[in-house]
Amino acid sequence: MPWVGTSVLIVDDHEGFRTWARVLLEQAGYTVLGEAADGASALGAASQLRPEVVLLDVQLPDTDGFEVARRLSRERWSPAVVLISTRDASDYAERLERSPVLGFLPKEELTAEALSRLVRAHGDDPGNERRAGG
């Protein structure tokens, strides 16, 4: 289970996936602060909402999730970023190793428990080291 009220921003260009992920995460106790359909909207929403976790699709219409994650990692309050895709992690292996993301989940394996495992592996407070003092 997530920490009560762990806040999430869902970023994916498919509205149906965003709706499904919102329901799934909210039923498990996450607080979904918002949704975005592209990289520019994701950066704006993250800046405004300051979620603890960003669930971020790799393939977006205007940029890719790796670039969005890189930009978010530069912020003092940067969230924990979990990349998602319909493709397998092995398709992105090198880029994942070099990126500032918390982890990767194939979309078909997304569950609240899988997300919680990644967040827990990071520490007791998602994004705590990056937001210290912020």
- What confidence score (pLDDT) does residue 67 get? 97
3-state DSSP of 24-65: HHHHCCCEEEEEECCHHHHHHHHHHHCCCEEEEECECCCCEH
**pLDDT tens digits for 33-66?**
999 999 999 999 999 999 999 999 999 999 999 9
- What confidence score (pLDDT) does residue 129 get? 40
**pLDDT tens digits for 69-114?**
999 999 888 899 999 999 999 999 999 999 999 999 999 999 999 9
- What confidence score (pLDDT) does residue 51 get? 96
Which pLDDT band, with edges at 50, 70 and 90, does 123 fall under? low
Domain ranges of the chain: 12-88+103-128
State the pTM of this model. Answer: 0.87
CATH number of 12-88+103-128: 3.40.50.2300
- What confidence score (pLDDT) does residue 120 get? 82
Question: Which one, of 100, 5, 3, 26, lies nearest residue 56 by Cα?
Answer: 100
Is it the case that residue 124 has pLDDT exceeding 50?
no
Per-residue b or e along 54-77, where b marks 16 or more CB atoms closer than 10 Å to that residue's CB: bbbbbebeebbbbebbbbbeebeb
Give the pairing of strands 80-85 and 53-57. parallel
Average pLDDT over every residue of 120-134? 48
